[in-house]
Amino acid sequence: MSKMTRVTVARIVGLVCVLILLLIMDTSGLAKTQDNFQSPIAVDLKGYRKESGITVHVEKAGLQVAWPASGGNSGILILNLEAGRPLIESVGTSTGEKPVQVIARQLDPAALLTIGERTLKEPEGWVIFFDNPPQRPYQTFPLVLKKESVRVSSEGTRTTITIGTVSAGSFHGDMRFTFYRNSPLIHVEYVVTTQENGRAILYDTGLTSASPDWQSVAWKDTGGQVKRVPVDTAYVAQPVKVAGRTVVAEAKTGSLAAFPPPHQFFYPQDEAFNLSFVWYGKSYNTRLDDYGFGIRQSPTGDKRYVPWFNAPPGTKQHLGVFYLVSPGNAEQTLSEVAQYTRGDQFKKLPGYRTYTSHYHIEHTYEFVRRQKEQKTDQVPKELLVPGFVKTFKAHGVDIVHLAEFHEGNTPRQKASERLPLLKTLYDECARLSDEKLLVLPGEEPNVHLGGHWLSLFPKPVYWVLNRSAETPFVEQVAGFGTVYHVGNTDDVLRLMEKENGLMWTAHARIKASVGFPDGYKNRDFFLSDRFLGAAWKAMPADLSVPRLGGRVLVLMDDMANWGLRKYVPSEADLFRMEPDFETYGHLNINYLQLKKLPRFADGWQPVLDSLRQGRFFTSTGEVLIPSFTVGGKGSGETLYVSRKTVTEVKVNLEWTFPLAFAEVISGDGKQVFRQRIDLSETQALGKRTLSIPVDLKGRTWAMMMTSSTTTPPALLRLYLIRHGETEWSLSRQHTSRTDIPLTTRGEEKARELGNVLQNISFTRVLTSPRQRARRTCELAGLGARAEVEPRLVEWDYGDYEGKRSVEIHQEQPGWNLFRDGCPNGETPAHISDRVDNLIAELRVTGGNIALFSHGHLGSVLAARWIGLPVLEAEHFPLATASLSILGDDPNHPDVPIIVQWNKTLP
């Protein structure tokens, strides 16, 4: 049986905060004295595991944390839990038996939360770019910490200290410190939630001290030179334009660097301007009293569309910053920080070339304008080596695909106007290409197909976009050769076929492509192999989501299940590009399998072949996948799957920040299946080869995603939907394995559920494999996104399948399903384990998750969710086509609650 395995690899979607501080030297004294002191606040250590490699020691005034950092050094952090005292008593390093070298004392983490309004206009809703919260009223609040609770928990090689509570305006939550074994990183997060709808946010954060004891503040300027100023407690805080997004507090005993998550911190904008993303000084933003340093955002952004971050109600927003503790000086510390983004460069991999796409540089228009101004037909002196060429070379880009002529009236240009511009574009791309950088001409034509789309040909092609009925499709024009005229979708497809070009949806399902490619998925041009698919970018931004760019990740699954071999390269969708911009934070990259970099003069067909054949992976730069096979087949190839064997997925990974998880994602044309691989044991700056057994029987495609996100999952809310009415639910017969359909009324009620569920943004949609659950999911409008989850099947009734309870009681008086189980079926212990495993996995995923399931399974899920034994599930009956909601108390995130139970539509 032939199965197509699609492997559009490595989506690091979600490089989110990762570490954080503190650990203390692991000495016998610590272990012996741990129970001799009592902190001002009770410290919950039930979830702490010393096997994480991080030592947490309770002291009289708080906590000591020590962890192996790097180069034989340990990081040391002491937290003071007394009210009214700075939270960080001290932070420093230690080597071997030498005394601790304290870098700074008496520090308070400080943060500002800026809260604005999201329009939520239809049809975009939360999936919006064209919005401007800074043009409407907004407020900035300090995040206030009250030391009321402390919890220590561990997972793999990482340990987190959670301190509650924090608040800012309508947002409430906690503060977290996460530490990773063998890394000097410290990740501090404010994790906050609001119940107000339509909120968009920004945040600034850092460390402050009333009496700073470090000597200087340092950074790299945009030219790469280290700048250093002495601490002056009278200096009023100012933003600073730096390279690498990093500011360093430097003492004689070491240094402490602050920097944001390199990609997650940047919401989408048209321009990658360097907007001074760090600060230092006293009274930052007039709201922080003391002297400090940290990271920041500009509320006004690039002054075009400035959408900020989404903050839907009930979601946990992770406002994160990294600190790096070092015994070295500022120069050494900046070099250590740079390792986590490979110096803001995309690493060279043998057999691959880096490709980036969708740039509205408008170099051609500028070139023509400057020639006219300077009255010359030569290259304008300012453009001998344009800034964008310098920028891409500096970041390790091999191939850049332009999207010229985005401005102006391009679709309406006559041939006499357009053809000379195309010639200038092609001549300039040829001139600017060399052995290090291939500059490819391209456009975002945005006519004839619907929405916005990109074009890419394997050589210079002359085409005009507004053919009339009297104009031929192709003609010969002196000075330009073959010229094509397109005036409709058929013309576009004919051109692409004739010249072996590619086209794909730009910014799918957002911006001017809202509703696409869905709106033309059945059109001939989309079904053609000349239509590549769509492009990925982290847009919109939401700090509660552990993956970047979920909008397109869902589309990838959808297109694969449509039965089409479509691929998704990443896009930058940026305008100008200059050496002093904040390029890396806004960039993503595609690694194309190419033996060598094509020469412009020879054409670049190999680039299109790699894209069309799916021989590439996409990354933000921190996670790389040098090799990846499914059953021995590489990305883009077809695998024939035996019904009797398990398929091996083999992947070679390299990463900087510690990994969180990997997923093997597959589908059967209708449903999506996910197999999650926990990578919490990984450490920073590592390599590993994974061999993963996967059951791909009945699947038509598969792909791999790896995430180095270390942001904890979003606030979990489970929307539990029992399937609609069936003949056996009417007759009250126990229905598990028997796969029966919905009744007509059951289908009607399932459709009505869609009116309620359509307004909820779901992270995932899971359904039992039984047709009554899957059909309910489909009729509710969520079938295209659904993943089959076998653990959602109904309680296995064994010998009692098809029987009514009254009949069973005649045979077994006093029988109770939740106490006794079923002969040759499931026991309460079995179903409890099944449900507990599912809940644990969903906890890691987070977000709003729809679960289409069954009556007794749902009852057990509710009981186990709030910590009750299976026997108590008898108190949670479920009607057909009912909606129940399980969540956590927003004021007490550790307390699971039943938000809504057994609600049915009238």
Q: Annotated binding site for substrate: which residue ranges?
A: 772, 794-797
- CA 525 to chain centroid, in Å, comes to 30
CA torsion 347→348→354→360, rounded to 10°? Answer: 50
Q: Which of 189, 362, 571, 794 is catalytic?
A: 794
Helices (H), 523-623: 524-527, 550-561, 583-586, 605-612
Using omega within 30 degrees of 0 as the cis cutoff, is the peptide bond preceding 890 cis? no
Beta bridge partners of 664: 675, 704
CA-based nearest residue to 351, from 539, 113, 617, 154: 617
Q: Which of 263, 401, 586, 723 is catalytic?
A: 723
Residue 723 is among the residues annotated as catalytic for this protein: yes
DSSP 8-state class, residue 597: P
Q: How far is CA 92 from CA 66, 230, 307, 331, 634, in A?
A: 10, 20, 38, 17, 47
For residue 419, the SS3 value is helix
Cross-strand partners of 207: 109, 293
Residue 106 C-alpha from the chain's centroid: 35
Whole-number Å distance between alpha carbons of 484 and 493: 12
Separation of alpha carbons 538 and 535, rounded Å: 10
Answer for the pair 631, 5: CB distance below 8 angstroms, yes or no: yes
Q: Are 89 and 105 in contact (CB under 8 A)?
A: yes
Contact (Cβ atoms closer than 8 angstroms) between residue 95 and residue 75:
no
Tokens for 605, please give them. 């067909």
The candidate with the shortest Cα–Cα distance to 41, out of 65, 61, 22, 24, is 61
Q: How many CB atoms lie under 10 A from the CB of residue 239?
A: 18
Of 653, 645, 559, the C-alpha closest to 349 is 653
SS3 content of the chain, % helix, strand, coil (to 5): 25, 35, 45
Q: Which two tokens stand for residue 232?
A: 């002056």
Q: Give dist(CA 386, CA 278) in Å, integer.
A: 28
Contact 270, 304 (CB under 8 A): yes
Is 830 annotated as catalytic?
Answer: no
Q: How far apart are CA 623 and CA 868, in angstroms?
A: 41
**Six token digits for residue 1:** 């049986």
Count of alpha carbons within 13 angstroms of residue 460, beta-carbon side: 21
* Alpha carbons 378 and 384: distance in angstroms, whole number: 10
> How many beta carbons lie within 10 A of that of residue 71, not counting itself?
12
Cα–Cα distance, 876 to 861 (Å, whole number): 10
Question: What is the total residue count of the chain?
Answer: 906
Catalytic positions: 723, 794
